[in-house]
């Protein structure tokens, strides 16, 4: 088994009487992308804040790269990158100056121009951040999280509110980081994004992890696969027939369909992560 980048053991946080994160356990291997998926208020950001040393767990512990984040906070923080929901960039400064400032804080001699290129902001580095669009700021935030060439990258809803093109740019940056060997902890409530990017996904609901596996295995375990056929009736009307796959009578049902009906279109359907989340928790992700 590969080395573990993150180990969460019984990690817990309460805000007053409210238990936001409730004794969660999980492990992330080095180089893995873990999608942390759950609806608003599920406890995703609170988990990220504990894992990155911004909140001290009320119970349990988190070990990153073999170090306890609550005890060896500085050593851990030197090796991780964090991109949070709300941007806190210096708006009056240029993008390059924002990155240079952060690089200095980390004592990093990273090439900030190359970093800007990596997130597709080449040529815009001298512009003040206040002139940037939301998508550009978000990409700059990702670049800033990369100044110390982190071994683990935490991204809290990095594509929230962005258009499809900006979102795709950020997904490509994440994949590129993974190719460099970076571990990625990604929170999102976009199930398609989680499905596309993650090696494994954790479903979090009301502070508890209710499922954790590869998207493929979750679909195998919880989702049913089906064939949807559109058939034409004698009077020309169209109707839909559904045949569930992976059942004993699937073969005969398909043969019967073709023998007795005029099939116009045929396609297969697989459960989405959203379907499975609803099945497990009884609630929607949005
Ligand atoms: N500073 C705070 N003080 C009190 N309660 C808080 C605070 N921050 C979060 N909470 C509560 O803790 C719970 C978990 O919040 P958290 O921000 O971790 O959820 P989330 O999964 O990140 O949600 P979202 O998708 O909306 O970002 C929610 O019920 C929230 O209201
Ligand atoms: Mg959040």
Pocket of ligand 1 (CB under 6 A): 15, 18, 20, 38, 40-46, 189
Give the pair of three-digit tokens for residue 79: 């090796």
Give the per-residue pLDDT at 221. Answer: 85
Centre of ligand 1 from the C-alpha of residue 18, in Å: 10
| Closest residue to atom 17 of ligand 1, CA basis | 45
146 in the same domain as 119: yes
The answer to which of 66-80, 111-125, 194-208, 216-230 has the lowest mean pLDDT is 216-230
Instruction: Judge if 158 and 101 occupy the same domain.
Output: yes
* Same structural domain, 24 and 84: yes
Q: Whose alpha carbon is nearest atom 26 of ligand 1? A: 40
Q: State mean pLDDT over 6-35.
A: 97
Domain containing 245 equals 224-269
Pairing of strands 33-37, 183-188: parallel
Whether 231 is covered by a domain: the verdict is yes
Residue to mutate, 11, 12, 15, ligand 1, most ligand atoms under 8 Å from C-beta: 15
DSSP string, 225-267: PEEEEEEE-TTS-EEEEEEESSSTTHHHHHHHHHHHSEEEEEE
Are 124 and 249 in a shared domain? no
* Nearest protein CA to atom 5 of ligand 1, as residue: 15
Claim to verify: residue 124 and residue 263 sit in the same structural domain: no
Same domain, 235 and 188: no
Backbone phi, psi, residue 81, to 5°: -125, 140
| Residue 46 alpha carbon, nearest atom of ligand 1 | 18
Count how many domains the chain has: 2
pTM of the full structure: 0.88
User: What is the token pair recorded at 24?
Assistant: 């969660």
pLDDT digits (tens, 9 = 90+) for 68-98: 999 999 999 999 999 986 667 999 999 999 9
- Asked if the structure places residue 255 within a domain, the reply is yes
């Amino acid at each position: 088994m590969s080395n573990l980048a993150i180990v969460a053991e019984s990690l817990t946080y309460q805000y007053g009487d409210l238990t936001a994160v409730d004794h969660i356990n999980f492990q992330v291997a080095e180089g893995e992308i873990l999608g942390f998926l759950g609806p608003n208020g599920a406890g995703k950001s609170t988990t990220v804040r504990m894992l990155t040393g911004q909140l001290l767990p009320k119970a349990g512990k988190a070990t990153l790269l073999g170090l306890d984040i609550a005890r060896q906070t500085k050593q851990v923080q030197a090796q991780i990158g964090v991109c949070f929901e709300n941007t806190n960039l210096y708006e009056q400064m240029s993008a390059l100056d924002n990155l240079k400032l952060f690089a200095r804080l980390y004592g990093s001699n990273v090439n900030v121009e190359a970093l800007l290129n990596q997130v597709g902001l080449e040529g815009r580095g001298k512009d003040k951040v206040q002139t940037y669009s939301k998508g550009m700021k978000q990409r700059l935030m990702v670049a800033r999280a990369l100044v110390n060439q982190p071994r683990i990258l935490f991204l809290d809803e990095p594509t929230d509110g962005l258009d499809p093109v900006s979102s795709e740019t950020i997904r490509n940056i994440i994949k590129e980081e993974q190719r460099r060997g970076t571990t990625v902890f990604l929170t999102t409530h976009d199930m398609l994004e989680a499905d596309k990017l993650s090696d494994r996904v954790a479903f979090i609901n009301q502070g508890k992890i209710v499922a954790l596996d590869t998207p493929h295995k979750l679909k195998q375990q919880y989702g049913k696969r089906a064939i949807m056929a559109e058939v034409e009736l004698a009077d020309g009307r169209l109707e839909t027939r559904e045949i569930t796959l992976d059942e004993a009578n699937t073969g005969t049902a398909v043969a019967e369909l073709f023998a007795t009906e005029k099939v116009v279109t045929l396609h297969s359907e697989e459960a989405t992560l959203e379907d499975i989340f609803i099945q497990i928790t009884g609630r929607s992700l949005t």
